Amino acid sequence: MTYKVNKTEEEWREELGLKYSVLREAGTDRPWSGALLDEKRAGTYRCGACSAELFKSDTKFDSGSGWPSFYEAINPDAVELREDRSLGMVRTEVVCATCGSHLGHLFDDAHQTPTGDRFCLNSTSLEFDEEN
C-alpha cells in the first residue's frame, strides 16, 4: 500500500527512536502503563509517527482493558483495518492510513458505546493535542 507519508524503515527507526518497535513493528505497550490511558482533557489524538488526526477525545472511553480505547475514528479514512493472524488468533489490526504505522487493534465488544467498537490503542502510537 502506498501512503501519503513514506519513509524507509531506517528513516523511521532514526526518527521514532524507542517508539519504533510499537509503531513500525506492531509491538504493544504493557497494559496500564501508557501515558494517555487516563487522559481526560478535551482534544485530538494524533498518530505518533506522522501526526495525522485519528481520534477525538469525546469518543474515548474506559474499557477496563489497560489501553486507551475509542469507539470511533475521527473519520472513516483516518485508519486502515487489516487482518492480523499473529499470536495464533485472528484480530483486526488498526494502522494509520496516512503512514501505515501500527496503532493497536479493533474489537467489537464495546456494547456500552454507540458503535459497539473498541479501538484498543497503544499510548506509544499516539500524540495528544489539548483543545484551546
96: region left, alpha or beta (phi > 0 left; psi from -120 to 50 alpha):
beta
Q: Where are the alpha helices (DSSP H) in the chain?
A: 9-16, 20-23
Residues annotated as part of the active site: 120
- The percent of residues above 90 in pLDDT, for the chain, comes to 95
DSSP H/E element including 121? strand 116-121
When the pLDDT of each residue in the chain is averaged and rounded to a whole number, the result is 96
Q: Is the pLDDT of residue 125 over 80?
A: yes
